[in-house]
């Protein structure tokens, strides 16, 4: 399910980055008492009362002649377009300014729920100064202090009242999958080749695809939803506002996906950015298939080329040892007919449930083959195992002391599960709990 999204919007120097950092719980945005410091949108995830939401910090909007103001306004417009609810942030120190009026005009056009907050209300005397902000036309202004965290609970309650109802969104039975990767690896070409028709603009220019595009199709009896995403570029190389927007859409596409296809370029080989891109999907617990595109462009192939390339991938992506690899060509459609079946298999493996009795038979065999280790004179004892979740398959082992489960023995147990059951394409989570 797509996380509801809150965008923090306002003129420069009202404390947007401070509020963002408060909500995220860590210092991500640069905080400086100078207008216009935050020139790029910053994205993150936050939580309120047990429910997660996505958060966008924007650069300020102003009507003066400061550098970057046009670009900042563009970024804010994009963030507003992406948000479910907008937090309109003002400052009690300056009162209602012409720039605040400018922001209000932009927000009137957005047709989104808006929560108005007045920042820097650090003492009771300043609360008397918030009433002027009713003139902005967004109802009751909420007095807050980003520095001290005062009033944020009331603001978040109002924000969540404007979010879509929990559970709304993607509720169909199709298998959702997305292509992710660096720009120009051929993701859009793969979409078109699978569909057999030109549904997505294809161009050799990096970054042509700016948005995530959903396309439904049926293969056999199974319905799929294909999500094409813009390429994810190195953080330091993202110059255009739309590039940062594309990164956010790609990350949100991963959140929506059951299976993620990590696309590599056979011509260029593996780049450091490929590992980071794949890491997004791995950390999200999604099913993963590694797709090596443009295989037809390699001129000097022999019987060992594919094996050598696969060995190189396994060496560079050691954390994805579970992910199947397929070598394809969007241009010639080589092996593309295999992808829908692979995606369906990985999705089934992501949803696989194993009965506790069967799991504990496997556990007993594993303990017999490789007894538990002893750490500092104390032996790990594993009493039983049970599965508690799917997507990804998640197992709990009850032990005498969770600190005694070394990562190497945890990896051994996960490998035993993989050898016994078909979990190809999906990560496995193993959690140790004290039996008491």
Q: 294 labelled as ligand-binding?
A: yes
Q: 291 labelled as ligand-binding?
A: no
Q: Which residues pair with 219 in a beta bridge?
A: 222
Q: 16 labelled as ligand-binding?
A: yes
Show Cβ contacts of residue 395 under 8 Å, excluding neighbours closer than 6 positions: 359, 385, 386, 387, 388, 417, 428, 429, 430, 431
Q: 178 labelled as ligand-binding?
A: no
Q: 231 labelled as ligand-binding?
A: yes
Q: 10 labelled as ligand-binding?
A: yes
Buried (b) or exposed (e) across 261-293, using 16+ Cβ within 10 A?
A: bbbbbbeeebbebbbebbebbbeebbbbbbbbb
Place of tokens 């089934």: 348
Q: 119 labelled as ligand-binding?
A: yes
Cα 330–Cα 333–Cα 339 angle in degrees, nearest 5: 90
Q: 111 labelled as ligand-binding?
A: no
d(CA 163, CA 16): 20
Q: 120 labelled as ligand-binding?
A: yes
Q: 15 labelled as ligand-binding?
A: yes
Q: 48 labelled as ligand-binding?
A: no
Q: 381 labelled as ligand-binding?
A: no
d(CA 89, CA 51): 22
Q: 186 labelled as ligand-binding?
A: yes
Show Cβ contacts of residue 378 under 8 Å, excluding neighbours closer than 6 positions: 401, 404
Q: 338 labelled as ligand-binding?
A: no
Q: 14 labelled as ligand-binding?
A: yes
* Radius of gyration (C-alpha) of the chain in whole angstroms: 25
d(CA 105, CA 396): 53
Q: 60 labelled as ligand-binding?
A: yes
Q: 13 labelled as ligand-binding?
A: yes
Q: 188 labelled as ligand-binding?
A: yes
Q: 183 labelled as ligand-binding?
A: yes
Binding-site residues for GTP sit at: 10-17, 57-61, 119-122, 181-188, 228-232, 293-296
Binding-site residues sit at: 10-17, 57-61, 119-122, 181-188, 228-232, 293-296
């Amino acid at each position: 399910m797509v996380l509801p999204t809150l965008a923090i919007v306002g003129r420069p120097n009202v404390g947007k980055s401070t509020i963002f950092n408060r909500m995220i719980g860590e210092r991500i945005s640069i905080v400086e008492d100078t207008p216009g410091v935050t020139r790029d949108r910053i994205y993150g995830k936050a939580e309120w009362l047990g429910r997660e939401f996505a958060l966008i910090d924007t650069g300020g909007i102003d009507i003066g002649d400061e550098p970057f103001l046009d670009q900042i306004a563009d970024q804010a417009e994009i963030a507003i377009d992406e948000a479910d609810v907008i937090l309109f942030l003002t400052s009690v120190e300056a009162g209602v300014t012409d720039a605040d009026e400018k922001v209000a005009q932009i927000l009137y056009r957005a047709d989104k729920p808006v929560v108005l907050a007045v920042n820097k209300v650090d003492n009771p005397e300043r609360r008397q100064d918030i009433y002027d902000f009713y003139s902005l036309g967004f109802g009751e202004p909420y007095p807050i202090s980003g520095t001290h965290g005062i009033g944020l609970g009331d603001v978040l309650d109002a924000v969540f009242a404007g979010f879509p109802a929990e559970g709304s969104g993607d509720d169909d039975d199709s298998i959702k999958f997305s292509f992710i990767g660096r720009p120009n690896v051929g993701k859009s070409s793969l979409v078109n080749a699978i569909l057999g028709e030109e549904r997505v603009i294809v161009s050799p220019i990096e970054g042509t695809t700016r948005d995530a595009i959903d396309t439904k199709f049926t293969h056999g009896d199974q319905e799929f939803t294909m999500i094409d995403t813009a390429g994810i570029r190195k953080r330091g190389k993202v110059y255009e506002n739309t590039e940062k927007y594309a990164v956010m859409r790609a990350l949100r596409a991963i959140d929506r996906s059951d299976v993620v296809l990590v696309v590599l370029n056979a011509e260029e080989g593996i780049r450091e950015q490929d590992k980071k891109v794949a890491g997004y999907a791995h950390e999200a617990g999604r099913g993963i298939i590694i797709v090596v595109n443009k295989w037809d462009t390699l001129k000097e192939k022999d019987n060992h080329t594919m094996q050598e390339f696969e060995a190189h991938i396994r060496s560079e992506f050691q954390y994805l040892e579970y992910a199947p690899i397929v070598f394809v060509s969007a241009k010639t459609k080589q092996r593309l007919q295999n992808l829908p079946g692979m995606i369906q298999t990985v999705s089934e493996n992501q949803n696989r449930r194993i009965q506790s009795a069967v799991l504990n038979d496997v556990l007993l065999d594993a303990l017999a083959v490789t007894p538990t280790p002893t750490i500092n004179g104390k032996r790990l004892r594993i009493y039983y195992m049970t599965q508690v979740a799917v997507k990804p398959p998640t197992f709990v082992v009850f032990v005498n002391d969770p600190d005694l489960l070394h990562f190497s023995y945890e990896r051994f147990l996960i490998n035993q599960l993989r050898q016994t059951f078909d979990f190809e394409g999906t990560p496995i989570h193993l959690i140790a709990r004290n039996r008491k």
